Amino acid sequence: MKNNRLAVSIHILSLAALHSREQLTSDFIARSIQTNSVVVRRLTSELKHAGLLTSQPGITGIQLTRLSTDITLLDIYKAIQGNQESVFAIHQNPNPHCEVGANIQSTLDTTFGKVQQAIEKELSNQTLQDIVNDLFE
């Protein structure tokens, strides 16, 4: 199953980089993403908790806490990744009496660890501003 939380979070932050706080209601953002505003509020809450967005009680909208050039895609990824260490999960309790089952977890841990490092390295090389710039090329 595909997870679009990173893409939607980047979409939200891209809107925040381009629009004034007053425009950025959850309904406005939800229309841009074509999703329910509950989804937007849930993700903006996570992005606020991670220190990427801010809002003020009684004042409409959200805004970035720092320049879009200072927010990497890795920052966004980590903000919405939660406690998960990797995008890949290894199935639990394989049969230890099977030649594959006995070794699959350690083998996949190594492989998935390398892939995770590569993903994080690439995400750290891209900023939110790079995404915003690419939107208009």
| The predicted structure's pLDDT at residue 2 | 58
- CATH of residue 63's domain is 1.10.10.10
What is the span of the domain harbouring residue 66?
Answer: 5-85+127-135
Q: Average the pLDDT over 14-35 and give the result.
A: 94
Residues in the chain: 137
DSSP of 76-97, one letter per residue?
HHHHHHTT-S-S--PPS---TT
Q: Average the pLDDT over 32-42 and give the result.
A: 95
Are 74 and 120 a contacting pair, CB within 8 Å? yes
- Phi-psi bin for 98: left (phi > 0), alpha (psi -120 to 50), beta? beta
Residue 35 domain flag: yes
- What confidence tens digit (pLDDT) does each residue in 42-94 have? 999 999 999 999 998 888 899 999 999 999 999 999 999 876 667 777 778 88
The total number of structural domains that make up the chain = 1
| The predicted structure's pLDDT at residue 137 | 82
Residue 96 domain flag: no
Rounded alpha-carbon distances, angstroms, from residue 35 to 46, 63, 132: 17, 20, 21
